[in-house]
Amino acid sequence: MKIVFHPEFLKVYTNDPAAAEGRLECILKEIKDDYEFVTPEPAKLEDILLVHTPFYVEEVKAEGLYDIAALAVGGAIKAAKIAFEEPAFALIRPPGHHASPDRGWGFCYFNNIAISVRKLMKERLIRKAVIIDFDLHFGDGTANTFCTDKNVVYHHMPQDDIASIEDILKSVEYDIIAVSAGFDKHRMDWGYYLNTEDYRTIGKIIKEYAEENCFGRRYAVLEGGYNQDVLGKNVKAFLKGFE
């Protein structure tokens, strides 16, 4: 298991909850001694344009957020490539699953998970993918990106229905499992649904199906999760199941 991380992600780039001071530090405190860390490069413009329109990219630039958003995309792409050798987790921000091709909201600018999947497909490393999203909020940006693509299945876990993840993973074909890992469904976060050990269970289910169906290829990228008292512990629990 490798963790993709860059010190730039520690910077407070806006005043929204995803960019809050200390949010990634509380995760690093829990996992820094357990895994190897690797550093990403910013995504190239041509990669970002695999999902987003040129006009929307210019809007993100105008907001002064292009550099940090491109670095987050680069982190997701690096995790996706690592997944062909071992599991990976992209400890990145801004999050991305609310970013559609021509717009973004919900603290998201570029859709990290969608671009990384498209990158693998463009390079013909995969033909089919499944995206599991266990964030509190539905990833409308990811769903919009792949709504007409029969080779990519997007599944958002409703409420505390962990069994739905297993149901989808045993019913579709895929060459890799990509995960939008949001931790705001925790009982002490915004969602009030999951316990910390539930994240370990989710990670374990994804690991088992990846090993059975796609040579173990799996990677996850950070989405939501805002209560710093529990966020690090929740991420650690997920990684222990996922590794």
* Alpha-carbon dihedral angle through residues 184, 187, 189, 192, given to the nearest 10 degrees: 70
Q: Respond yes or no: is residue 155 known to be catalytic.
A: no
The catalytic residue among 52, 97, 98, 156 is 98
- Which pLDDT tens digits describe the chain residue by residue (243 residues)? 999 999 999 999 999 999 999 999 999 999 999 999 999 999 999 999 999 999 999 999 999 999 999 999 999 999 999 999 999 999 999 999 999 999 999 999 999 999 999 999 999 999 999 999 999 999 999 999 999 999 999 999 999 999 999 999 999 999 999 999 999 999 999 999 999 999 999 999 999 999 999 999 999 999 999 999 999 999 999 999 999
Q: For the domain covering 2-242, report its CATH number.
A: 3.40.800.20
- Cα angle vertex 199, ends 196, 202, to 5°? 155
Domain ranges for the chain, please list them: 2-242
Element (H, E) at 179: strand 177-181
Q: What are phi and psi of 147, to 5 degrees?
A: -60, -25
SS3 state of residue 220: strand
The predicted pLDDT at position 69 comes to: 98
Tell me how far apart the alpha carbons of residues 179 and 117 are, in angstroms, rounded to a whole number: 11
Assign residue 97 a region (left: φ > 0; alpha: ψ between -120 and 50; beta: otherwise). alpha
pTM here is: 0.97
Tell me how far apart the alpha carbons of residues 90 and 232 are, in angstroms, rounded to a whole number: 14
Burial of 49 (0-12, 13-18, 19+ CB in 10 A): middle
Burial of 164 (0-12, 13-18, 19+ CB in 10 A): middle
The predicted pLDDT at position 163 comes to: 98
